[in-house]
A and B are shown apart, each in its own frame.
Chain A
Amino acid sequence: MSVSVSPALAINVRNVSKRFGRVLALDDVNLSVPEGNVLALVGPNGAGKSTLIDILCTIGKPDSGHVEVSGIDAVRHPLKARQKLGVVFQEPTLDTRLTVRENLTFHGMVYQMCRSERRARADAVLELVELADWGNAVTRTLSSGMRRRLEIARALMHEPRILFLDEPTIGLDAQSRAKIWSYLETLRDTQGLTLIVTTHYIDEVEGSDAVYIIDHGKILACGAPDALKADYGRTLLKVSPRGEMVRATLVKRYPDAVETADGQLLIAIDQTVSADALLAELGTQLRGISVEQPSLESVFLSLTGRDLRDAPTGTSNGTRNA
């Protein structure tokens, strides 16, 4: 006879809602993450990602619903739950007047680690994020990419079982982003850490175990990246019209077309829309046309009707549209 084979849940969220005045920031959210999984939370600005992370890491309180973190009721016993989780917030939270090591030491102390343990862990986490040479630098003097890495290192000091990262790569250059993801992969593979990551960069979530797409406080879809693509992905025609007249004609003909940040139009192909018809009619008036196979981006587009790429605030990565 078999006992339950499903792995233990690192996080279990049931029917969580949260309201800020008139804004319903979270609307009956359900979410579960098996231990050792990587979950990506994707959604445009104001979707409710940070609100959800805040509730999961016990800083925010849900209006209703149940939140379990590492088997602990996070609403009733927040202090107990916190020992098991590490958080990298969307906004920086380092003390920039302290040195790199002092930031880590402080963290170790409030997480009640003893001195030798603190020292050993500080060495280890600095090593991991390649900041070992920067231990005595004042944090103010670090670049933003280095600070982000330091925040990740700090969140790992007390060996949490679950790591939350709210937009860990936003505003960073491609090199820093790649580095951060390689650290995270190392952690998952070597220590079985559970990772909850929110991001605007949809190409970053391909490697995750599950993707949750959230907008207006609602989970619109969830599943493994491939499953999502199979269910919601559409083949898209990416069209660059020659001039405003053509653009207007296209928009009129295909009212569901979505404009990208760089002025192209995305048109989904289905029964009523075929690439042949479009080419036959307007082919000569286009500067370019390309066919995009189902991607998570098209999943997002078909679920929210928005192009995720013009969602990020701050310095989004402009090269990706080129």
Chain B
Amino acid sequence: MAMKETTSAIFGQMYGVYAIWLREVTRALRDTGQLIGGVSRPLLWVVILGIGLNPYFRGEVYGEVRFVVPYTYLQFIFPAVVVLNILYTSIQSAVSLIWDREFGFLREVLVSPMARNMVLLGKILGGATTAVVHGCMVLALARFAGVALTWVDVFQALMLMFVLAFGLTSFGIVLAVHVRGFESFGVFSNAVILPLYFTASSIFPLDPALTRAQMLVAYPEWLVLIVELNPLTYAIDAMRGILIDFNQFDPVLGLQVVGIMMVSLFALALLAFRKV
């Protein structure tokens, strides 16, 4: 009897998680502003930056050091743009939490028989799903960027995208809980997103053929350090591994970092959400 009750309670909670997920996704897909951003951002990066910088990418020589990345610049930044779109959308999706708080809807959810943690899970799953959709908008440009994908690649990329999006949406929730108001969140999130992105070896490689000593010749030490400390570096590296078979670090390392990020950021979000 008690067993049956517990099962039905768990099933009920999962159903509620589905409802919250559905609302998040519905709202995001109806938000044309967000969709336009999701399309124009990758186009800008791939078309303008990727094509514009393509000629400057190969065979650069810095003294003794020569880059040996066997890819076009377009191919090189393509996986990073996928991650960029996920980064933006995940963190922006946490705005829905601020929205719900400001416009009262959060109370409707909190007074329902949903456990608080399940409310959060639904929200994060919804945000992550939206982010994966936005990541796919970039993937759709693969052919254009000269990246050939097999179905296995796409499947692996989707898995990685989802895990990454889950972690980043959790991160967005943590920010949203601590930041009051929409405007400050916009400013704050940009202040977080762009530095994270630019220091993630997204638009320039740390060449794997270089020793650390050689790398320090090419780049100042602080920059190398920041890049190596930025967890996003490993996420982008893992994405490159999947999409263009190029890794600057141990391929397993990227997956590990992304996994750990997802778990620990979710834990932080759970902690933060108790205060809402």
Residue of A nearest to B12 (CB): A112
B121 → chain A closest CB, angstroms: 13
Contact with B along A76-103 (1 / 0, CB 8 A): 0001101100010101111111100010
Contacts of B23 in A (CB 8 A): 95, 98, 106
Determine the residue in chain B with the shortest Cβ distance to A112.
Answer: B12
Q: Assign chain B's interface to a size class.
A: 20 to 34
Is A79 within 8 A of B115, CB to CB?
A: yes
The digit string for A103-114, where 1 denotes a CB below 8 A from any CB of B, is: 000110111100
**In the complex, what residues of A have CB within 8 A of residue B105's CB?**
93-95
Q: How many A-B residue pairs have CB under 8 A?
A: 66
Instruction: Check B107 for interface membership: any CB of A closer than 8 A.
Output: yes
Interchain CB contact under 8 A, B30 and A97:
yes
Q: Which residues of A contact B36 (CB under 8 A)?
A: none
A57 close to B (CB within 8 Å) = yes
Does B104 contact A112, Cβ atoms closer than 8 Å? no
The answer to whether B27 has its CB under 8 Å from any CB of chain A is: yes
Q: Mark A100-134, 1 if CB is under 8 A from B, else 0.
A: 00100011011110000000000000000000000
How far is A82 from B13 in the complex, measured between Cα atoms in Å? Answer: 13
- Whether the pair B104, A110 counts as a contact (CB closer than 8 A) is no
* CB-contact partner of B27 in A87, A97, A109, under 8 A: A97
Query: Chain B binding site: helix, strand, loop or mixed by DSSP?
Result: helix
How many residues on A have C-beta within 8 angstroms of the other chain's C-beta atoms?
25
Chain A nearest CB, measured from B217 CB (Å): 54
Q: Which residue of A lies closest to B20 (CB)?
A: A110
Q: Is A58 an interface residue (CB 8 A)?
A: yes
* Closest CB in chain A relative to B1 CB, distance in Å: 16
A212 CA to B58 CA, complexed, in Å? 80
Known: A96-B103, A98-B26, A110-B19. Contact between A57 and B111, CB under 8 A?
yes
* Contact A112 to B15, CB < 8 A, known contacts A92-B104, A93-B104, A106-B23: yes
B113 in the interface, Cβ–Cβ < 8 Å?
Answer: yes
For the complex, is B183 an interface residue (Cβ under 8 Å from A)?
Answer: no
- Chain A residues contacting B108 (CB-CB under 8 Å) are 89, 93-95, 107, 154
Give chain A interface residues in 192-222, CB to chain B under 8 Å: none
Given the interface contacts A98-B23, A98-B26, does A110 sit within 8 Å of B114 by beta carbon? yes
A92-B104, A98-B26, A106-B23 known; A111 and B110 CB under 8 Å?
no
Minimum CB–CB distance from B32 to chain A (whole Å) comes to 12
Q: Mark B1-32, 1 if CB is under 8 A from A, else 0.
A: 00000000000100110111011001100100
- Kindly state the separation between the CA atoms of A96 and B105 in the bound complex, as whole angstroms: 9
Closest to B23 in A: A106
A106–B104 touching, CB < 8 Å: no
B112 at the interface (CB under 8 A from A): yes
Q: How far is the CB of B9 from chain A (nearest CB, A)?
A: 8
Across the interface, do A82 and B103 meet the contact criterion of CB distance under 8 Å? Answer: no
Contacts of B26 in A (CB 8 A): 98, 102
Closest A residue to B13 using CB positions: A112
| Residues in chain B near residue A58, CB distance under 8 A | 111
Q: Which of B22, B107, B113, B115 contacts A83 (CB 8 A)?
A: B113
Q: A111 touching B111 by the CB < 8 A rule?
A: no
**Other CB < 8 Å A-B pairs besides A89-B107, A98-B26, A107-B108, 8 of them?**
A79-B115, A82-B112, A92-B103, A93-B104, A94-B108, A95-B105, A112-B113, A154-B108
8 intermolecular pairs with C-beta atoms under 8 Å apart = A79-B114, A89-B108, A91-B107, A109-B18, A110-B16, A111-B112, A112-B113, A154-B108
